[in-house]
């Protein structure tokens, strides 16, 4: 259930925060995404790894960094995806000491199918918004991204 910032308790430090509203709405999107992934036996982090690998070979350390997980968690995640035939480890041709992850044809099909379903869900939600609301959301998300980049550049992240 989403909170109404006008009825939030004065003791709530998040009361009235537009970023708290964003966080709560993101939580709703995340729950819907989990429902889409569940029938395929995928976690959100696993789908994220497939997305990264769908763009080309990727190092496990990059997966860990981009997903915000530890190296050992990334190894476990890759182990699961490899056992399912969705990713495979191979030597990096540019550095034979390093390993990269390559998406398999089954992994690519799985990623594309789930991405289409998630996109359809997001488009359905956006379709209920006015054109002005969609533009404002797009602009607001872009500004939030820039603000987070600036904040992270200060070393605070």
Task: Please give the full DSSP string across the chain, using - where no structure is assigned.
Answer: ----TTTS-TT-TTTT-HHHHHHHHHHHHHHHHHHHHGGGT--HHHHHHHHHHHTS-B-HHHHHHHHT--HHHHHHHHHHHHHTTSEEEEEETTEEEEEEEEE-HHHHHHHHHHHHHHHHHHHHHHHTS-HHHHHHHHHHHHHHHHHHHHHHHTT--
Which CATH class name applies to 18-120?
mainly alpha
From first to last of its 157 residues, the chain has per-residue pLDDT tens of 455 545 556 678 877 788 888 888 999 999 999 999 999 999 999 999 999 999 999 999 999 999 999 999 999 999 999 999 999 999 988 888 899 999 999 999 999 999 999 999 999 999 999 999 999 999 999 999 999 899 989 877 6
Return the pLDDT at 21.
Answer: 85
Return the pLDDT at 82.
Answer: 97
């Amino acid at each position: 259930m989403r909170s109404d910032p006008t009825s939030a308790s004065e003791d709530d430090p998040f009361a009235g925060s537009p970023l708290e509203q964003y966080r709560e709405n993101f939580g709703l999107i995340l729950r819907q995404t989990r429902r889409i992934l569940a029938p395929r036996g995928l976690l959100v982090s696993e789908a994220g790894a497939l997305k990264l690998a769908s763009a080309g070979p990727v190092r496990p350390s990059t997966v860990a960094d981009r997903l915000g997980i530890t190296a050992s968690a990334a190894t476990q995640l890759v182990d699961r995806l490899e056992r399912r035939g969705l990713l495979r480890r191979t030597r990096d041709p540019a550095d034979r000491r390093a390993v990269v992850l390559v998406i398999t044809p089954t992994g690519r099909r799985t990623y594309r199918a789930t991405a289409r379903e998630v996109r359809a869900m997001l488009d359905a939600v956006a379709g209920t918004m006015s054109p002005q609301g969609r533009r404002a959301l797009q602009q607001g998300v872009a500004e939030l991204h820039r603000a987070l980049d600036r904040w992270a550049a200060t070393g605070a992240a």
